[in-house]
């Protein structure tokens, strides 16, 4: 079946069209449209996808026979006095679907007061790298990605002066610090302060993680002029208008997935928006939920980086302790679809479960890395 346009009217009615001549309609203001969507697939997850009119993915892999929240922010149009929005529907298996409880509302608006958050685009392999630039020009980075991602990471940093004033590191895996090591080797960027806590050499030998050698390389290539800060639970840094709170000590007591569970969780208070970076935190997150102060810190975080690229990370109860409205998924397409080469949902990664949790939370927007390009979030 060819791609169709799904037309959703403000009165709750809907229809499909093979094509739409948008020039024949009066274009209105941008709106946020919410509706409940249910697919009827023989599979656990439907094959269909919803895209906006520009082709950007809205959502896919819907849970079959379950009403789920869908939010789309897009331009509205008027047809004979009836306001509507349009989406592109890809339904290769011609699965049945239904929608209800349509609501047109105001768009979400900007998250940051004049600043911009870059979610660095990967080379197709999962990685994590973020760069936040305040309206005054302060550059704050979180992790950086694989060594193959260094050029894209460097491009963003050079765009803003070639200096990272504060670099926050969650943990030492190659898909988080590999690109940074390469930039340090090349002396490509200047760094004011860098925040990290990695295990000792003896502990690394004892635990035997595959990325152990990176820690020693890291220590050798750190710029001499950079100030090293070891973050500890409760530390609070005032970084030129951005307040960073460290929510936990780096944990080195977990035998299973030792390195992921050593992730430091950072909360960035940017005024009206609080952003949570979790790194690759996994089951250690259960322990942190026993800490009332930790839970309190989560409670007003509306933008959340999904732990461990959105799969086999923290628990549903962890996300439920936040106020998440916007999800940051450092997640390539194959992982987003749980696709190991055999099609959607052909692997055992738990990303689809995480996405289901977020629909239950009625999140307004998810930023992903499925197009392998850097995204600018304002």
* Contact (Cβ atoms closer than 8 angstroms) between residue 32 and residue 81: no
- The span from the CA of 61 to the CA of 210, in Å, is 33
Q: What is the mean pLDDT of residues 204-215?
A: 82
What pTM value is reported for the model?
0.96
pLDDT in tens, 232-277: 999 999 999 999 999 999 999 888 889 999 999 999 999 999 999 9
Question: Alpha helix (H) ranges present in the chain?
Answer: 150-159, 174-185, 201-207, 212-221, 284-288, 292-298, 316-320, 333-336, 351-360
DSSP state of 16: E
Same domain, 8 and 132: no
Residue 110 lies in a domain: no
Residue 179 lies in a domain: yes
Same domain, 198 and 227: yes
Amino acid 286: pLDDT: 93
Q: What is the mean pLDDT of residues 185-204?
A: 95
Q: Parallel, antiparallel, or unpaired: how do β-strands 190-195 and 163-168 relate?
A: parallel
Amino acid 94: pLDDT: 94
**Last residue of a domain, which of 105, 139, 170?**
105
Q: Which residue, chain included where needed, has tokens 């390009």?
A: 373
Q: What is the mean pLDDT of residues 367-373?
A: 96
* Paired tokens of 228: 């090293």
- The span from the CA of 37 to the CA of 28, in Å, is 24
Amino acid 64: pLDDT: 97
- The span from the CA of 377 to the CA of 112, in Å, is 8
Q: What is the mean pLDDT of residues 96-111?
A: 96
Rounded alpha-carbon distances, angstroms, from residue 93 to 39, 40, 43, 197, 334:
11, 11, 11, 49, 20
**Last residue of a domain, which of 53, 80, 105?**
105
Q: What is the mean pLDDT of residues 291-305?
A: 98
Q: What is the mean pLDDT of residues 309-324?
A: 98
The distance between the two most distant Cα atoms of the chain, rounded to a whole number of Å, is 73
Domain count, the chain: 2
Amino acid 204: pLDDT: 85
Residue 46 lies in a domain: yes
Q: How confident is the model at residue 3 (pLDDT cuts 50, 70, 90)?
A: confident
Rounded alpha-carbon distances, angstroms, from residue 256 to 23, 169, 209, 252:
57, 21, 10, 11
Amino acid 199: pLDDT: 92
Task: Tell me what the pLDDT averaged over the chain comes to.
Answer: 96
Same domain, 120 and 100: no
**Last residue of a domain, which of 105, 132, 148?**
105
Same domain, 126 and 273: yes
pLDDT at 98 over 70: yes
Q: What is the mean pLDDT of residues 329-349?
A: 97
pLDDT at 209 over 80: no
Residue 346: domain span: 116-377
Same domain, 155 and 30: no
Q: Which residue, chain included where needed, has tokens 């193959």?
A: 148
The Cβ of residue 348 has, within 10 Å, a number of other Cβ atoms equal to: 9
CATH of the domain at 279: 3.60.15.10
Amino acid 254: pLDDT: 86
* Contact (Cβ atoms closer than 8 angstroms) between residue 331 and residue 310: yes
pLDDT at 163 over 90: yes
Same domain, 186 and 42: no
pLDDT at 208 over 80: no
CA count, 13 A, side-chain hemisphere, 37: 28
């Amino acid at each position: 079946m060819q791609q169709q346009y799904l037309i959703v009217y403000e009165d709750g009615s809907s229809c499909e069209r093979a094509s739409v001549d948008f020039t024949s309609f009066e274009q209105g203001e941008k709106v946020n449209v919410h509706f409940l969507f249910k697919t009827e697939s023989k599979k656990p997850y439907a094959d269909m996808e919803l895209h906006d009119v520009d082709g950007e993915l809205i959502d896919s892999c819907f849970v079959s026979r379950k009403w789920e929240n869908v939010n789309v922010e897009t331009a509205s149009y008027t047809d004979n006095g009836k306001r509507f929005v349009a989406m592109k529907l890809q339904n290769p298996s011609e699965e049945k679907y239904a929608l209800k409880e349509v609501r047109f509302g105001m768009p979400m608006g900007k998250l940051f007061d004049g600043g911009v958050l870059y979610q660095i685009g990967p080379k197709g392999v999962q990685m994590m790298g973020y760069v936040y630039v305040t309206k005054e020009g302060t550059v704050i980075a979180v992790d950086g990605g694989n060594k193959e991602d260094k050029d894209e990471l460097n491009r963003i940093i050079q765009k803003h002066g070639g200096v990272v004033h504060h670099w926050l590191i969650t943990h030492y895996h190659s898909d988080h610090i590999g690109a940074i090591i390469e930039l340090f080797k090349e002396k490509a960027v200047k760094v004011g302060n860098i925040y990290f806590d990695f295990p000792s050499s003896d502990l690394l030998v004892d635990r035997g993680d595959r990325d152990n050698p990176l820690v020693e390389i890291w220590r050798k290539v750190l710029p001499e002029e950079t100030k090293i800060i070891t973050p500890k639970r409760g530390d609070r840094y005032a970084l030129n208008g951005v307040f960073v709170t460290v929510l936990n000590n780096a944990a080195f007591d977990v035998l299973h997935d030792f390195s992921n569970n050593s992730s430091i969780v950072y909360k960035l208070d940017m005024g009206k928006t609080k952003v949570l970076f979790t790194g690759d935190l996994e089951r250690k997150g259960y322990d942190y939920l026993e800490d009332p102060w930790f839970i309190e810190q989560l409670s007003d975080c509306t933008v959340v980086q999904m732990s461990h690229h959105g799969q086999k990370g923290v628990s549903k109860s962890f996300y439920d302790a936040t106020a998440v409205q916007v999800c940051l998924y450092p997640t390539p397409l194959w992982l987003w679809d749980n696709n190991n080469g055999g099609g959607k949902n052909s692997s055992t990664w738990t990303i689809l479960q995480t996405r289901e949790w977020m629909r239950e939370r009625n999140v307004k927007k998810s930023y992903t890395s499925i197009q392998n390009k850097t995204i600018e979030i304002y």
